[in-house]
């Protein structure tokens, strides 16, 4: 029962730990995926606007080159449209930078450069307007000079801003990786702590079960003790009340056992008790409960057994005890046992049944030992008679 209980607890703890480990792994996986998405989303819009804005200085350069080598006024229209788009780009980027988590000191100089570019745009727009009104040539040096200043300022500012954003994104990604690693380490430590607690619980349970078993087990013979037999008897009486099954109890006491201890020493006596316990276990059924009550006294609880069954078992035990070889220097000694046996007829519990069987054992001891005394009830008892074996040894007497 203890081994099964310990294995059951161990299995439940393993399942629980596996579930916790799985949940932790899923949590880490979810966190990593969300963290990566967040890292990408933080600068996506701003990087997109900067990339689009970088097209403006390139387009401005192409338009200015076209005006320098071609006097077609359509290039003025393209330049006019481009000059109207550049301030909106700058303002959009300025607002997103201020809403971002970037340090203002890192992009303050770039905003100053863009502000200077904006300050040059009115003069360039005025020159373009004058050229459109016929007050100057499309390829006028003033337009080209102002345009080149605007183009250089935009190209430098956007290039630096793009590099700044990539560096910030890389730093954020590195930070998220470190946080992910820290989270994984913390979860691993948590799993180790949970595993240690579960292992401790398992060992505590096993120790408790071992102590409980030891408190109910005789250390010398590995049989159950009096407490264990009482618990088994309560279960047997409960089953008897439910199903009306028979129940018998047998009490056994080794005859003159003190002489063995006195003559050969307690180690030999302990070996005799252990051997006798094995004899009992060989003779009983699997459902029978064998216990050492103390000293050289043993008991056998027999569920689903009538008195006749108990008597038959007692006779086998008496014969087996007589023929049991004793260890070492006690080999020449012959061991006998006195047995009392009763069947439960009333639902008076274990104490009443034990009292009755103890009386039968007492009679067996006082009437010559090496015998069986049994009765279904005190009112049916008759006087005992002795029977002797052919070799003159005390025989097996059943008193009813």
Catalytic center residues: 296
Q: Which two tokens stand for residue 328?
A: 């070492």
Three-state secondary structure call for residue 252: strand
Give the full edge-to-edge strand order of the sheet including 247-254.
289-294, 297-303, 247-254, 337-343, 372-375, 398-399
Task: Report how far residue 268's alpha carbon sits from residue 260's, in angstroms, rounded to the nearest whole number.
Answer: 8
Contacts of 13 (CB under 8 A, 6+ apart): 198, 201, 202
Please state at what angle helix 141-215 crosses helix 104-132, rounded to 10 degrees: 150
Three-state secondary structure call for residue 99: helix
Q: 157-169 in b/e burial notation, b at 16+ Cβ within 10 A?
A: bbeebbebbeebb
Angle at 153 between CA 149 and CA 157, to 5 degrees: 175
Task: Report how far residue 377's alpha carbon sits from residue 299's, in angstroms, rounded to the nearest whole number.
Answer: 19
Q: 323-332 in b/e burial notation, b at 16+ Cβ within 10 A?
A: ebebeeebee
DSSP H helical segments within 296-399, as ranges? 307-322, 349-366
* Long-range CB contacts (within 8 A, 24+) of 22-25: 24/187, 24/190, 24/191
């Amino acid at each position: 029962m203890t081994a099964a209980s310990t294995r059951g607890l161990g299995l439940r703890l393993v399942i629980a730990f596996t579930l916790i480990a799985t949940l932790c792994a899923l949590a880490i996986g979810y966190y990593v995926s969300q963290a990566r998405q967040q890292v990408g989303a933080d600068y996506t819009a701003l990087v997109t606007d900067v990339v689009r804005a970088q097209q403006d200085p390139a387009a401005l350069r192409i338009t200015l080159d076209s005006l320098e080598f071609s006097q077609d006024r359509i290039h003025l229209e393209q330049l006019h449209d481009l000059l109207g788009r550049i301030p909106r780009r700058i303002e959009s980027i300025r607002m997103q930078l201020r809403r971002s988590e970037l340090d203002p000191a890192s992009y303050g100089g770039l905003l100053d450069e863009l502000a200077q570019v904006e300050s040059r745009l009115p003069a360039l727009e005025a020159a373009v307007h004058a050229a459109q009104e016929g007050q100057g040539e499309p390829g006028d040096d003033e337009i080209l000079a102002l345009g080149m200043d605007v183009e250089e300022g935009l190209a430098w500012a956007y290039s630096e801003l793009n590099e700044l954003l990539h560096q910030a994104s890389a730093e954020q990604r590195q930070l998220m990786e470190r946080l992910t690693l820290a989270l994984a380490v913390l979860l691993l430590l948590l799993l180790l702590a949970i595993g240690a607690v579960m292992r401790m619980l398992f060992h505590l349970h096993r120790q408790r079960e071992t102590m409980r078993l030891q408190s109910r087990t005789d250390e010398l013979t590995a049989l159950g003790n009096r407490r264990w037999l009482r618990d088994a008897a309560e279960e047997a009486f409960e089953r008897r009340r439910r199903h009306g099954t028979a129940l018998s109890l047998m009490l056994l006491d080794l005859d003159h056992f003190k002489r063995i201890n006195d003559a050969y020493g307690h180690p030999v006596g302990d070996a005799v008790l252990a051997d006798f316990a094995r004899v009992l276990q060989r003779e009983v059924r699997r459902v029978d409960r064998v216990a050492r009550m103390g000293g050289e006294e043993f008991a056998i609880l027999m569920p689903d057994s009538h008195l006749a069954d108990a008597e038959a078992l007692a006779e086998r035990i008496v014969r087996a005890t007589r023929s049991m070889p004793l260890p070492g220097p006690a080999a020449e000694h012959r061991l006998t046992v006195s047995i009392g046996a009763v069947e439960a007829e009333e639902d008076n519990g274990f104490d009443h049944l034990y009292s009755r069987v103890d009386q039968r054992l007492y009679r067996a001891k006082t009437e010559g030992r090496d015998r069986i005394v049994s009765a279904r009830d005190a009112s049916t008892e008759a006087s005992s008679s002795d029977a002797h074996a052919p070799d003159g040894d005390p025989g097996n007497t059943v008193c009813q």
